Structures are given as C-alpha cells and as structure tokens.
Amino acid sequence: MHAGRGPDADLFCRVIDNFGDAGVCWRLARALATDHGWRIRLWIDAPEALARIKPGGWDEGGIEVRQWTTLPADIEPAACVIEAFACELPRSYIDAMAARPQPPRWFNLEYLSAEDWVEGCHGLASRDPATGLAKHFFFPGFTPRTGGLLRERDLFARRDAWRGDGALQQATFARLGMQPDPGALQLSLFSYESPAIATLLDALAAGSRPAQLWVPEGRALAAIEALYGRALRPGEAYRRGALELRPLRFMDQDDYDALLWHADLNIVRGEDSFVRAQWAARPLLWHIYRQQDDVHLVKLDAFLDRLCADLDPAPAQALRAAHAAWNRDLPLSPGGWQALFLALPALQKHAEAWAASLSLQPDLASQLVSFNQTPI
Ligand code: TRH
C-alpha cells in the first residue's frame, strides 16, 4: 500500500474448502484494483489456497494480501468493508468501524444464485445490534436487479486476442504441457467426484471422433485414478479407444481461463470456474457445490431454466440430461452422451449469445463501486 493513502477497501475471505472462496475474492480484489483504481487489503485466513491459484505471487498493483489470523489491535478500517460469504468480522474490528467519524460502507458478498428471490434481497441491509451499523447484502446474479457477475473490463478483449493469435495459444500450450490435436474434440474437466465421470470416459472412449480430455490435478483426476486403479501423471497421455486422457498440473488462474477458452466443452464446478466458463462462451456442464437438504439442486434448476429458456428442445434436453447425470447421479447412457456431443454446435452458438447478453449488465465490481458511492 502506498504511503500516505490507506486502503479503499478491506476485503475479508475465509476459506471453507477448495479454491472458490480465494478465487472469487482474488478476482474481486483485482477488478476493484485494476478497473477502478481502488487499493485493496485482502485478509485471507488460508493464503495457501491463494498460492495454488496464483503461484507466481500476489504482487499486483493496488492489492495487499494479509494473513487473517488476528487483526492488529490498532487497525484503522478502510472506508469500504467487504465480508465475503458471511465470513463474520471480529467484534473488535466492527467496533473500530463504528468509531470512525464516517463509518465505512459495509457489504456482505453473498453466493451466486440464479433463483428469483435474489432480486428482492440484493441491496437489503441488516443492522448490527451492538453498533447500529448497516450491513448491505450484495448478491451476484444473472439479472439487472442483482449485483451482476465478476467480469474484468478487458476480459473479452483478452479472450478474443488469445483466440485469434496462434503464437499466444502455442505459448500457453507449451507452458501447460498441452499438445492439442486439432482433429479431436477438446474437453476440460474440473468437477467434484461423480459417477458420471465413468460414463463420460466410456462414452468418449467408444465415440467415433477422437477426444482429448484435459484434467487439472485435483478431485476429478483423483476420481479417475481410482477408476483406472493407477496414478495418472500430468504431462502423460493415457489412451483408451477414441479417448486421450491428459492430466495437467494445477495451473495459474489466468492459464485456467485460457484452457476454458480453448475447449469445446468445459465441465466446471463451484462458483468461479462456473462463471469463467460462461465468459469463455463455450458449452459448459456445471457440477454445482453440494449443499445440505439438496438445496443446491434448486439453484441448479434455476440456472438451467434461465440458460435453456431460448434453447431448442433437443440441445436443451441433452444438456439437462448431462446435468442430471453429473449432479443427481442419474445414469446417462452412451446415447445420452452422444446426444450432448451432437448438440455441441448448437450449444456453442447459444453460449456465445448467452455470454453476450450477460455482459450487457454491469459487472459486479462496477456495481459495488456505484453502490458504495450512493448516500446511505
Ligand atoms: O474450488 P471450488 O469447488 O470452490 C468453491 C469452494 O468449495 C467454496 O467453499 C464454495 O463456496 C464455492 O466453490 C461455491 O470451485 P470454484 O468456485 O470454481 O473455484 C475454483 C478456482 O480455482 C477458480 O478460481 C479457478 C481456479 N483454478 C485455478 O486457478 N487453476 C486450475 O488449474 C483450476 C482447475 C482452477
């Protein structure tokens, strides 16, 4: 942080599991810093999660990463305070917020959902009983009456530049140890464990078209190792029928974007890879994060209803069947998978239109900045 000017926002992140908590917070910090010139102090309780998605370090202009164990006793809260995913701030920090002559704007960044009720809750406030401070609920979402989706200003330009530049692509492939076969269907797989993984592998192996399946290290690759009964190493190719399985090292977040831009079908999960796959404007299959009492299935249906609203019946049915296989453990026959592969050209067109229409609404960081400027 530059001398003489404190942070514009304190962003608090507690890592529950995996990489999405860190991934979303890092992206928000970057968008606020790069697109809006904000100075961000990112407090994270498990910096090792951030280190996985940003192995090259966090030395980016405008962002200071701090380990959130305990906060300094004399901390001066920033003018804007963002609590990611209801991570609960320490009482001493809330008291310090209340003690400022002008109390900070306080946001709770919620989880993404396509459900209708989100519109009614976005922007609502609750009062901290002890200090009376207002905390605003900031809901990401897919419609204009929500907080929108994280999308940095130059994302589409970078994506399109990459797609139009063979040398840039080759540099990425060399860095990631990829040798894409131009004649093969390209798939990326970053999901949780699911019985659908086995049926997908079988369908690809039995397919009439060669396929390369790129699988970054992690839970999906471990699930495939269990199926194959052996360790699978990044950099190696494992062939079965028409399928070439290609494990990859877990990569930098920006390189993962490029993998999404490259593939014909991306299997993604959680929240951040799910959003990035939509910005890639390629067909996607979403393995949603499992929640208690199956509430995640309601969220999944809400998204699929929006996505499929103007999709022709055949591709929509193929897409829904694949989502049911992945998320509801419903068996999908080889014919079901083939229907999805056949639907890819239609899904591709639709993914482009979907990304373009979503990008008409202001991105999340811009909306947060505007909200922050409106008088309470
Ligand atoms: O990892 P996720 O499952 O994360 C989460 C958490 O489980 C969290 O508790 C939950 O709240 C949330 O999902 C909904 O999935 P997600 O959100 O897609 O985050 C993965 C991040 O990892 C994303 O920022 C992309 C990044 N990534 C890399 O940087 N390199 C890689 O190689 C891959 C595969 C992903």
Rounded to the nearest whole angstrom, what is the distance from the C-alpha of residue 254 to the centroid of ligand 1? 13
- Kind of pairing between the strands at 125-127 and 134-138: antiparallel
Residue nearest to atom 28 of ligand 1 (CA): 253
Ligand 1 contact, 247 CB (< 6 A)? no
Residue identifier of the C-alpha nearest atom 15 of ligand 1: 270
pTM confidence score: 0.97
| Residue matched to tokens 């998605």 | 53
* Cβ 272 under 6 angstroms from ligand 1: yes
Are 84 and 112 in contact by the 8 Å Cβ rule? The answer is no
| Pocket lining: 264 vs ligand 1, CB cutoff 6 Å | no
Question: Region 66-83: what's the mean pLDDT?
Answer: 95
C-alpha to C-alpha distance for 194 and 172, rounded to whole angstroms? 29
Sign of CA dihedral 66, 72, 77, 81: positive
Question: Which tokens in the block code for residue 272?
Answer: 């951040």
Q: Is the CB of 26 under 6 A from ligand 1?
A: no
Closest by Cα among 75, 76, 26, 29 to 50? 26
Do strands 265-269 and 185-189 pair parallel, antiparallel, or not at all (unpaired)? parallel
Q: Could you tell me the pLDDT band of residue 60, with boundaries at 50, 70 and 90?
A: confident
pLDDT for res 103: 94
Span from the CA of 277 to the centroid of ligand 1 (angstroms): 12
Contact status, residue 323 vs residue 286, Cβ threshold 8 Å: yes
Active site residues: 21, 271
Ligand 1 neighbour 131 (Cβ under 6 A): no
> What pLDDT does 4 receive?
58
Q: Which atom of ligand 1 is nearest to the CA of 253?
A: 29
* Tokens, residue 333: 């026959």
Nearest alpha carbon to residue 93 among 117, 336, 83, 215: 83
Quick check: CB of 20 below 6 Å from ligand 1? yes
Kindly state the helix (H) or strand (E) to which residue 155 belongs, with its residue range: helix 155-163
pLDDT digits (tens, 9 = 90+) for 138-168: 999 999 999 999 999 999 999 999 999 999 9
287 and 327 in contact (C-beta within 8 Å)? yes
Q: What is the pLDDT of residues 210-260, one digit of tens each?
A: 999 999 999 999 999 999 999 999 999 999 999 999 999 999 999 999 999
> Best mutation site among 273, 279, 287, 288 for ligand 1, i.e. most ligand atoms within 8 A of its Cβ?
273
Helix (H, G, I), strand (E, B) or coil at 9: strand
pLDDT at position 308 is 98
- Tell which atom from ligand 1 comes closest to the C-alpha of 24: 24
By most ligand atoms within 8 Å of CB, the mutation choice from 19, 50, 109, 287 for ligand 1 is 19
Q: How far is CA 147 from CA 37, 112, 114, 137, in A?
A: 20, 10, 12, 10
CA of 250, closest atom in ligand 1:
32
pLDDT tens digits for range 245-300 = 999 999 999 999 999 999 999 999 999 999 999 999 999 999 999 999 999 999 99
Please name the helix (run of DSSP H) or strand (run of DSSP E) that holds residue 347, with its range, or none.
helix 334-358
Ligand 1 centroid to 271 CA: how many Å?
A: 7
The Å distance, Cα 20 to ligand 1 centre, comes to 4
Q: Where does the pLDDT of residue 2 fall: very low under 50, low under 70, confident under 90, or very high at 90 and above?
A: very low
**Is residue 17 within 6 Å of ligand 1 at its C-beta?**
yes
State if residue 273 touches ligand 1 by the CB under 6 angstroms criterion: yes
Please indicate whether residue 289, judged by its CB atom, sits closer than 6 Å to ligand 1.
yes
Q: What count of Cα atoms within 13 Å lies in the side-chain half-sphere of residue 264?
A: 19
Does the beta carbon of 19 sit less than 6 angstroms from any atom of ligand 1?
yes
Measured from the Cα of 218, ligand 1's closest atom is: 34
Give nearest CA residue, ligand 1 atom 8. Answer: 20
Q: What is the mean pLDDT of residues 50-76?
A: 92
